[in-house]
Amino acid sequence: MEVIISDSSKDASMRAARLIAKTVKEKPDAALGLATGGTPLELYRALIAMHKSDGLDFSKVRTFNLDEYIGLPETHEHSYHFFMHENFFKHVNVKPANIHIPNGLAKNVERFCFEYEAQIKAAGGIDVQVLGIGSDGHIGFNEPTSSMASRTRIKTLTPATIEDNARFFNGDKTLVPPHVITMGIGTIMDARTIVMLAFGSNKADAVAKMIEGPITAMVPASALQMHERTKCFTDLPAASKLGHAEYYKWVYSRKPDWQKDS
């Protein structure tokens, strides 16, 4: 795992955006795994700016979102369909037919999950997977104790995650759907490159456990230590509890420029 510590979340997001832009330029039909929530917003803004000012072309790109709440229609303001369209898709030239987001209203959830895995496989696998990390170390909605080999499936949210996500539901945790469809840890680990974004002091404990702690199902993100090509982009507060922060900065600062965005 490569750890890239920036002064701010904006700087970190721009670095991540340059990596994704490079991937799309080199492989116009790249498959991107996308995340929701507050963490990737600056990344999406940077990619939108690149599209508008530099002509970054998403017309052949395929996208696969990590997760979706069960029971929310696509038009619901708190669904991840709505989030992605408002914060990214409607601002770039990605084709609607190339957008894949779990269906929270699927009549047969198990069959849908199987088909979602098949769609990812048919696309040739995910080239770059964007992730955030929960305060308890979850990735996607893979809560602590999730199987490291898990695939796309239904999950029940923990009270801690419901509490964290209540801010998106006007602070009312009773409005947070208790069940979701999420890519599994095994699905995530199949991506060729993983871009982990972690910002803010409230993520510092989880970041330290993910990067420097033992690999354990109790910290699902720790599985990324075993991934061939994970790049973790953090701001200073999120990196504040890393024991080797200065070493990570030293290594990154001495890389050739061409390697920093690769």
Would you name the residues annotated as active-site residues?
Answer: 67, 136, 138, 143
Per DSSP bridges, beta strands 2-6 and 193-198 are: unpaired
Question: What is the reported pLDDT for 260?
Answer: 75
Question: What is the reported pLDDT for 149?
Answer: 97
Token representation of residue 20: 């994704």
Question: What is the reported pLDDT for 131?
Answer: 98
CA distance 116 to 139: 18
Question: What is the reported pLDDT for 257?
Answer: 83
Question: What is the reported pLDDT for 242?
Answer: 98
Cα Rg, the chain, nearest whole Å: 17
Question: What is the reported pLDDT for 251?
Answer: 94
Q: Domain spans of the chain?
A: 2-254
Q: Of the CATH numbers 3.10.20.740, 3.40.50.1360, 3.30.450.150, 3.30.450.40, which one belongs to the domain with range 2-254?
A: 3.40.50.1360
**What pTM, to 2 d.p., does this model score?**
0.95
pLDDT tens per residue across all 262 residues of the chain: 999 999 999 999 999 999 999 999 999 999 999 999 999 999 999 999 999 999 999 999 999 999 999 999 999 999 999 999 999 999 999 999 999 999 999 999 999 999 999 999 999 999 999 999 999 999 999 999 999 999 999 999 989 889 888 988 989 999 999 999 999 999 999 999 999 999 999 999 999 999 999 999 999 999 999 999 999 999 999 999 999 999 999 999 998 888 877 6
Q: Describe the crossing of helices 9-26 and 41-54 by its angle, rounded to 10 degrees.
A: 50
CA distance 1 to 208: 13
Cα distances (angstroms) measured from residue 55 to each of 16, 44, 47, 254, 260: 18, 15, 10, 31, 22
